[in-house]
Amino acid sequence: MTKKHLWLIGFLVTTLFLTDTAAAFNLDIEDQDYTDFNYRKVNQNSSDLDGHQEKLLFQWAINQNIINGYPDGNYMPDKPISEGEFLKVFLRAFGYHVSNQGVFNESNHHWTDSSYRMAKVLNIPTLGSTDFNSRLIPITRRKAAEIITSSQGVNLEGDDAIKYVIVHGLTGVTARTIEEFEADQIITRSEAVKWVRQLMLKGMMEIKQRPVAITNLALPELSKSSEWPEVIYEDFNAVKLTSEDFNLYDLTNNNVISLGTSRDQIEDMYGESNEMNIFNYNNYPYFSAEFDSKNSLMGWEINTIDNKHANYKTYKGIVLNKSTLFEVLELYGTAGYAADGIANYYYEKANETEYKPIFNTISRDSIKNPDNTYMLSFIFNKKTLIVEYINVSTFQTVLNFNQELDQRN
């Protein structure tokens, strides 16, 4: 079993089975007396998210444990976010475990402390590091821009930080000038999550340490007519697929491997398989295949971890070990990108040729017909953003695999 397999397995297990309870603890709560605090389950179906335009955004952030709810069961997406909350959201988004549990049993510990300790290590510019009260005051776009800029490994302040995030399209804000950026405007909780999400869609995988000295950069003078090659992604969009989109194209042998192909046909092309992988797929040269009870192909996977010379592509032209995250986002949409270099797209079969995207995949209960639901998954190299893994499977396959894990445990 490779580390990459373990990574994907962990992600799928978390996505399907952990999200129903993940938001129950480590709550983002206001500064108050916690002596008699009563835990109450907070979940992704909170009433104040129902019908909200950013419901999908929050469902994603909850699933990734980026943002938590309040003790009353709400998430308050339109509420201004404090610097302490923003910092915690930002750090969690990029893999840092910061929590506030200590506040319940340590009289001298505040829920923001772990975030600010990490900010000190990374040299992130915050007001709350020297002024405690600033941790609980709503953060402005200016300060948020300075924090985001610092995460790119540069040290810029004020207008220079704003110019940097505008030029590189790092926040999703479509401002072309500093004035349009509205630096003194405070940020809401939903805006904070949108900014973090946009950074991920731009390929950010880690927070870099900010240098001590101010970075000397030649930043452009901005105007409403300014032009630069920044990309701001429309989020949570997806496209319909056809049955051909689930084909695997062998560029070396000019073979097309389609769902429904018989095992005999596969083995006529690639020989008999005598080995199974961790997902109980049959291993063939450079790819693995899953068959149903009638020995018809119902899923496949390819990767460059085990098969460095694999030479395959998808119907839309995503080539293993060559195409990038950005090509996948352009061709399949942004809805499937989870975080940390993994994208899972879900589709319900509408008819023999059309597959409609499913957006709400926050828990297993949201998939009503697992046998009629298909997943198209990608894993990207964290440094190069190149596609290293592609998989097509039914959603039922994932459920079956997790049932096997439960039985083993």
Kindly state the average pLDDT of the residues 202-226: 91
What pTM was estimated for this model as a whole? 0.86
Q: Which residues contact 60 (CB under 8 A, 6 or more apart)?
A: 197, 236, 338, 362
At residue 13, the pLDDT reads 46
pLDDT digits (tens, 9 = 90+) for 277-319: 877 899 998 899 999 999 999 999 999 876 777 889 999 999 9
In residues, how long is the chain?
409
Q: What does the block give as tokens for 385? A: 């953003």
Residue 226 has pLDDT above 90, yes or no: no
Domain residue ranges in the chain: 78-201, 241-408
| Long-range pairs of 123-130 with CB within 8 A, sequence gap ≥ 24 | 123/150, 123/209, 123/210, 123/211, 123/212, 124/87, 124/150, 124/151, 124/207, 124/210, 125/150, 125/157, 125/210, 126/83, 126/87, 127/83, 128/83, 128/84, 128/87
pLDDT digits (tens, 9 = 90+) for 348-388: 999 988 999 988 655 566 777 888 899 999 999 999 999 99
Kindly calculate the radius of gyration of the chain based on its CA atoms and give it in whole angstroms.
Answer: 23
Residue 235 has pLDDT above 80, yes or no: yes
Residue 34 has pLDDT above 70, yes or no: no
